Amino acid sequence: MRHPSDGVLRRLLDEPAGVSDADRAHLTGCPQCLGTLATMRTDATALDSALAPQGSPDVDAAWRRLSAATAEPERVATPARAGRFRPAMRRPVVAAVAAAVVLTGAGTAAANDWLQIFRTEQVQPVALSTADLIALPDLSAYGDVVVTGDGDLRTVDDAAAAEAESGLELPEVADLPRGISGEPTYQVGSEISATFTFSADRAAQAAAAAGETLPPAPAGLDGATVRMVAGPGVAQAWESSAGVPALVVGRAVAPTAYSSGVPFETVRDHLLSLPGLPDDVAAQLSTFTADGGTLPLPVPSDRVSTSTAEVDGVQATVLGLDELSMSAVVWVDEGVVTAVAGSLDVDEVLSVAQGLR
């Protein structure tokens, strides 16, 4: 009779009832499986001890701490969540910089209706130290941020479905790098938008709480609204033989911003003057020209090396995360941003990017 799989044997240790009668019956008469089971038990017990936490938490004290955190108006809008540990993705600086991006697209005066004021044309890494990422103010302290759309990624069956759902042409990888093979999984995300309404009161409060003096808000800024839209997007991911995602090729409709209300230079300059934004970053951002549509990509300068390269006739930004043996290349062409990232070196990632069809 066929031996039960390792997975079945492992479950037998924890949940005998979850294993079929036939498998259990097999086991009683099979010294080989019993031997395997004994090894598994030893391993599981040893690891359980090695991982076991010490002591038990004080739930009441922890609840008081959480209640305090949810009661602070400046904090509720952006729960600290995983963000503290993933600076580049989650920190408020991303918000601040994103707003600045939007606003640097300015150039047009006020309009009564939504007016496109920014369309991503290229990407530019903005180097920040990790400490800066933690120190920067959160935009939600300066007004209301409302996000609409579902930020979730859905897995779809194949390339055709991915293209149909996203409306984007899926980049086709000509040659997979060495060590990567098989079929990718396909994921699709729908459009999402964010609206930021500036509030002078909130901004003043936030500044006061931080012990800073806010520069006086220009006339007309209170209540001004900026709306940003991004997506839909599509991604294909390959796993290495070890099951780790080894290569991701993604494409999305690049961020575009619209506004109603005050002139953009006004909002931009004010945001850039907010306390907390390091001078050099502010200077860097303010040089992004109005018509360039440059999307700044905040990266921790102490961890990521950046360079540029040409992909398909367009300038691309190349990021290397040496400590994680990861690289990424990202570029924008006609309002569509494409990224190739993976546990590969820079040359391999670039070669995939340049070989996309």
Partner 1 sequence: MELIRHGGARAAAALAAPGAVGGISAGRAVGRERGAVSRSSPGAVRADLEDVFRRDYPLVVGVAARVLGSRDQAEDVAQDVFLSFGHSAVPAGEARGWLSVAAAHTALNLLRSGRRRASREEFSAVAQDAVVSDVADAVVTREERRRVRTALAQLPRKQAVALVLRHSGLSYTEVAAALDLSPGSVGTTVRRAESALRKELNRHASSL
Residues 248-287 that bind partner 1 (CB under 8 A): 248, 250-252, 254-255
89 binds partner 1 (CB under 8 A): yes
> Binding of partner 1 at residue 34 (CB under 8 A)?
no
Query: Please, which of residues 105-124 interact with partner 1 by CB under 8 A?
Result: none
d(CA 154, CA 237): 13
The verdict on 309 binding partner 1 (CB under 8 A) reads: no
Q: Which is nearer to partner 1, 230 or 350 (CB)?
A: 230
* CB of 303 vs partner 1, minimal distance in Å: 5
226 neighbors 102 (Cβ within 8 angstroms): yes
Binding test (CB under 8 A) with partner 1, winner from 27, 33, 98, 352: 98
Rule CB under 8 A: choose which of 22, 63, 209, 335 binds partner 1: 63
> Least Å distance between CB 213 and partner 1?
24
Instruction: Find the binding residues for partner 1 in span 312-331 (CB under 8 A).
Output: 319, 321, 323-324, 326, 328, 330
8 Å CB contact between 246 and 324: no
Q: Is 237 in the site for partner 1 (CB under 8 A)?
A: yes
Among 54, 175, 178, 313, binds partner 1 (CB under 8 A): 54
Specify the residue, 20 or 213, whose C-beta has the smaller distance to partner 1: 20
Which window, 23-31, 52-60, 210-218, 280-288, contacts partner 1 (CB under 8 A)? 52-60
Considering only the C-alpha atoms of the chain, give the largest distance between any 2 of them, rounded to a whole number of Å: 85
What Å distances lie between residue 174 and 177, 240, 354, 357, CA to CA? 10, 17, 9, 7
**What residues numbered 124-153 form the site for partner 1, per CB under 8 A?**
139-140, 144-145, 147-153
Q: Smallest gap, in angstroms, from Cβ of residue 39 to partner 1?
A: 9
Q: What is the distance, to the nearest Å, from the Cα of residue 12 to the centroid of all Cα atoms in its chain?
A: 39
Report the residue from 222, 303, 308, 345 that binds partner 1 according to the rule CB under 8 A.
Answer: 303
In this complex, which beta carbon is closest to partner 1, that of residue 11 or of residue 119?
A: 11
Which residue is listed with tokens 């109005």? 290
Please identify which residue in 2, 21, 32, 242 interacts with partner 1, judged by CB under 8 A. 242
| For partner 1, the closer CB: 8 or 204 | 8
Q: What six digits make up the tokens of 234?
A: 């599509």
CA nearest to 341, candidates 317, 357, 312: 317
294-300/122-128 β-pairing: parallel
How many Cα atoms sit within 13 Å of 350 on the Cβ side? 16
Candidates 22, 44, 109, 160: give the one binding partner 1 (CB under 8 A): 44
**234 near 168, Cβ under 8 Å?**
yes
Q: What token pair was written down for 147?
A: 């996000």
111 or 237, CB closer to partner 1? 237
Three-class secondary structure of residue 158 per DSSP: coil
**CA distance linking residue 344 with residue 357, whole number of Å:** 20
DSSP-assigned letters across all residues of 289-309: -TTT-EEEEEEETTT-EEEEE
Q: Which is nearer to partner 1, 32 or 56 (CB)?
A: 56
Pick the binder of partner 1 from 27, 117, 170, 194 (CB under 8 A): 194
Q: Is 300 in the site for partner 1 (CB under 8 A)?
A: yes
- Binding to partner 1, residues 12-31 (CB under 8 A): 14-15, 18
Structure tokens at 63: 């609840």
The set of residues, in sequence order, having a beta carbon less than 8 Å from that of 92 and lying 6+ positions away, is 78, 136, 137, 138, 139
